[in-house]
Amino acid sequence: MEYYSEHISRLIAELGRLPGIGTKSAQRLAFFLINQPKEQVEKLTEAVLEARNNVKYCKTCFTLTDRDECPICSSAKRDHKVIMVVENPRDLAAYEKTGQYHGVYHVLHGAISPMLGIGPADIKLKELMVRLEGDVDEVIIATNSGVEGEATAMYISRLIKPTGIRVTRIANGVPVGGDLEYIDEVTLLRALEGRREL
């Protein structure tokens, strides 16, 4: 039996497709949006559409940006000889919040996971290796500490070692199985400062 009209049911269904949003949360969001002034809903809709139509990958590090090159990669104040490899743009944002890292990044957009059918060709590893043909002194591997993150770190280390570029891994302090985006800045900073050679 349908409790809501077709339009409300459709809105709830679409909101329920968002990550981390269950049926009850989708209902709450739907009723919140319906009760907002029309102008507020139009602003939200416009922001979503503009982001979807204008955001793309940075041509250098592959984070999300609305320019050809993100502000970090285009900054002359950053140390372009040190590249931190992260799994996703949220991890990059987590390290930027520390305010202590002054190098640049490379976003893989995933981690190697044979169980999920994700191999090295499915993430931005080839693009990383192309970047390393330039003037690079160190690659800091800051993948998550779960099984996939560790496997990805070891794979990247094996690829880079023959080039003579220094490869380090962020130190423990980041809990095993923890996602970087949920970890506080102090813990992230300690992990960065305590990185070790691979």
Tens digits of residue pLDDT in 14-55 = 999 999 999 999 999 999 999 999 999 999 999 999 999 999
Q: Which residues contact 151 (CB under 8 A, 6 or more apart)?
A: 111, 112, 113
Claim to verify: residue 72 and residue 50 sit in the same structural domain: no
Q: Are residues 123 and 76 in the same domain?
A: yes
Q: In this structure, what token pair is assigned to residue 36?
A: 């907002």
- Decide: 60 and 70 in contact? Cβ < 8 Å: yes
Residue 48, domain member (yes or no):
yes
* pLDDT at res. 172: 64
Half-sphere exposure of 83 (CA within 13 A, CB side): 26
Per-residue model confidence as pLDDT tens digits over 139-172 = 999 998 788 988 999 999 999 999 999 999 887 6
Q: How many domains does the chain contain in total?
A: 2
- What predicted TM-score, i.e. pTM, was given to this entire model? 0.78
CA–centroid distance for 1 within its chain: 41
What φ, ψ does residue 145 adopt, rounded to 5°? Answer: -90, 10
Q: Are residues 137 and 43 in the same domain?
A: no
Residues 97 and 190 in one domain: yes
With contact defined as beta carbons under 8 Å apart, do 198 and 153 qualify? yes
Domain of residue 40 covers 6-54
- Taking the C-alpha atoms of residue 126 and residue 132, their distance in angstroms, rounded to an integer, is 10
Is 193 a domain residue? yes
Query: Does 39 share its domain with 72?
Result: no
Q: Are residues 113 and 36 in the same domain?
A: no
At 19, which CATH number?
1.10.8.420
- Which amino acid, residue 123? I
Residue 145 and residue 174 in one domain? yes
Q: Is the residue at 68 inside a domain?
A: yes
